[in-house]
Chains A and B, each alone.
Chain A
C-alpha cells in the first residue's frame, strides 16, 4: 500500500512535469504579469544507473546495478512586489534506502530587498532556505549544477544530507560590486531539519530509541568572484547544534546530551579558456556532550575530520566536457588510516574496520550536453575506503570491501 502511494506521487509529479514542459515550450517558462513582473516555473528530472563491483551505493548496485537514483524537482518564483521576491521548490528524490521518492518541500522563501542599487544590495530571506556552503550545496540535487553525476562525497556526503540541504530560519544577505569583481555575503540563523532515522544512523551509527532535536544553528558564506567568472573563492562556516532526548529505556544518561558539528570550507576555482580547476578543503569538528558511552565511546567524543578534492575539467566545445577528480575523506585527521579507531574499539570488544574511517576516490567522467535542456553523463570511480559508503544501503557495513569501483550513467532534463 505504501509502495503504491509512492508510485502515485511519482506519477503525479511526472504528469505535472510533462504538462509544464509542454506549457514551457509553448509560452517559455516565464509569464509576464506586468512589464517588470514575471512568474517563472522551472523543473528538472534526472535518472541514473549505478553499478558497483563491491558494496552498494544508492540501492542494490553491486548485483545487477541500480536504477534507484532519481531526482525530480519543480519550482516557481514570483516577484510579488518591487522589493519582495518569493520562491518555492518541491523535490522528489529516490536514492537507494535513503530517500523513497516522497515529495518534500525543498525551499519556500520570502525575500525582501531592503536596499538595492546598481552597485550593491542588502536583503533578508525568511522561510525554508537552502543552506549556503561550499560551491555546490545550495543546488546539490540539480544534476545540471553538479560537477559530475555525484558531487565529491568527502564534502557533500549523503549521510547527513537531511541536515545539509535546507533549514528553516532567517538569512541576511548582501552583495557589493567592486572594480575587480563582486563580493557576496550570506548569514543564516536556522533550525536544522532533523530526520530521525537518517540523522541517528549518521551521528550514532544506528537507529536509537531516543530522538535528536534541532537547536539554533548558524551558517555563513563569503564569496568573491571576478566579473568574468574566471576566478572564484569562498569561505563557508557551519555551526550545527542538536540535542539528544533519550527515552526512559536508555539508562546511563547523566545530563543533557548534545552534538555540535562545526564545518569550515575553503573553495577555489580557476578557469582558463576551456580549462577549469576546482578545489575545496573542509574541516569537520564533531563534538559530543554527555552522550551515552555505549553510543559514542569517549575516545570519539571529540574528533576532527578533514576532506578535500581537486577537480580538473576541460570543455572540448559547447557540448562535451571531460573531467577528472581526486577526492579524499578522513573521519579523523589524527587517525587517517583508522587503525587507532579499530584498535580502541577492539579493546572494548567491538569489531569495526579501519577502512570505514577514510575514503579516497579517483574519478573520471564525461558529460554530453545535447542542448540546454538535455544532458547525458558517464563516470567511473575507483575508491579505496568506505568512509562515506551509505549505511542504509549496506546493512552489513562492517563487512564492506575496502577497495571498490563504481560506474554510473545519468540522463537529465530541465526546463
Chain B
C-alpha cells in the first residue's frame, strides 16, 4: 500500500517536472496589420489593450479585428509571453469575462499562418501575428515599442 502510494507520487512528480521543463522552441515573430493602416509601430501597452479586446478602434476610427492562432499553439503562447508579456491564461481569462458577461467578443481563432496572412490582407483594420516565415506584400509588418 505504502509502496503503491510512493510509486504514484513518484510518477506524478516525474510528470510535473517533465511538463514544467519541457520548453517550447522560440519563434521569432512578426506582428502584422492590414496594409492600409497608416501606422509603422505600436506601443506594447496599446497592443495589450487591443489583445484584451478593450481598444476596439484605431486612432483613425477604423474598427479593429483581432486574429489569433490556436491558443494552445506554441506560436500563440510565445506571442503572449514575448510580445505582450502576459501569460496566455491571463489573457484567456480577460476574454472569458467579456464573452460570458455579454460585454464583448474574443479574438478570431485561425487555423494556420497562411490563413492568418490571407485574413489580414482581406480585413481592413485587422491585426495578427505569425512566426517569421511566409510574410507577403499583402500585409504590413509593424514594430512593437516597449
B residues 67-112 near A (Cβ < 8 Å) are 71-72, 77, 85-94, 96-97, 99-106, 108-111
**Are B108 and A315 in contact (CB-based, < 8 A)?**
no
A8 lies within 8 A of chain B by Cβ: no
B57 lies within 8 A of chain A by Cβ: yes
A29 to B70, CA, bound (A): 12
Given A111-B103, A316-B16, A139 and B94 contact (CB-CB distance below 8 Å)? no
**Are B123 and A36 in contact (CB-based, < 8 A)?**
yes
A317 lies within 8 A of chain B by Cβ: yes
Taking residues whose C-beta sits less than 8 angstroms from the other chain, chain A's interface range is 35 or more
**Are B100 and A177 in contact (CB-based, < 8 A)?**
no
Contact with A372, one of B16, B63, B72 (Cβ below 8 angstroms): B72
User: Which residues of B lie under 8 Å from residue A75 when comparing CB positions?
Assistant: 99-100, 102
A residues 18-60 near B (Cβ < 8 Å) are 28-30, 32, 35-36, 38, 40, 42, 44
A301 lies within 8 A of chain B by Cβ: no
| Most interface-central of B46, B89, B102 (chain A CB within 10 A) | B102
User: Which residues of B lie under 8 Å from residue A119 when comparing CB positions?
Assistant: 55
User: Which residues of B lie under 8 Å from residue A125 when comparing CB positions?
Assistant: 103
**Are A372 and B49 in contact (CB-based, < 8 A)?**
no
Q: Which residues of B contact A (CB under 8 A)?
A: 16, 19-20, 44-46, 48-49, 52, 54-59, 61, 63, 65, 71-72, 77, 85-94, 96-97, 99-106, 108-111, 122-126
Given contacts A30-B108, A32-B108, 7 further A-B contacts (CB under 8 A): A36-B65, A75-B102, A130-B102, A177-B49, A227-B44, A228-B48, A315-B87
Given A89-B102, A227-B49, A145 and B96 contact (CB-CB distance below 8 Å)? yes
| Most interface-central of A77, A119, A121, A229 (chain B CB within 10 A) | A229
Closest to B56 in A: A116
A117 to B49, CA, bound (A): 12
Given A36-B65, A36-B123, A228 and B86 contact (CB-CB distance below 8 Å)? yes
A320 lies within 8 A of chain B by Cβ: yes
**Are A320 and B57 in contact (CB-based, < 8 A)?**
no
| Most interface-central of A44, A107, A318, A320 (chain B CB within 10 A) | A318
A109 to B54, CA, bound (A): 18
Q: Which residues of A contact B (CB under 8 A)?
A: 28-30, 32, 35-36, 38, 40, 42, 44, 73, 75, 77, 79, 82, 85, 87-89, 107, 109, 111, 116-119, 121, 125, 129-130, 132, 138-139, 141-142, 144-145, 173, 175, 177, 179, 182, 227-229, 271, 274, 315-320, 369, 371-372, 414
**Are B89 and A317 in contact (CB-based, < 8 A)?**
no
Pick 5 A–B contacts, CB within 8 A, sort by A. A28-B109, A38-B108, A111-B103, A317-B20, A371-B72
A226 to B61, CA, bound (A): 24
User: Which residues of A lie under 8 Å from residue B87 when comparing CB positions?
Assistant: 274, 315
User: Which residues of B lie under 8 Å from residue A82 when comparing CB positions?
Assistant: 63
Given A228-B48, A228-B86, A35 and B122 contact (CB-CB distance below 8 Å)? yes
**Are B88 and A318 in contact (CB-based, < 8 A)?**
yes
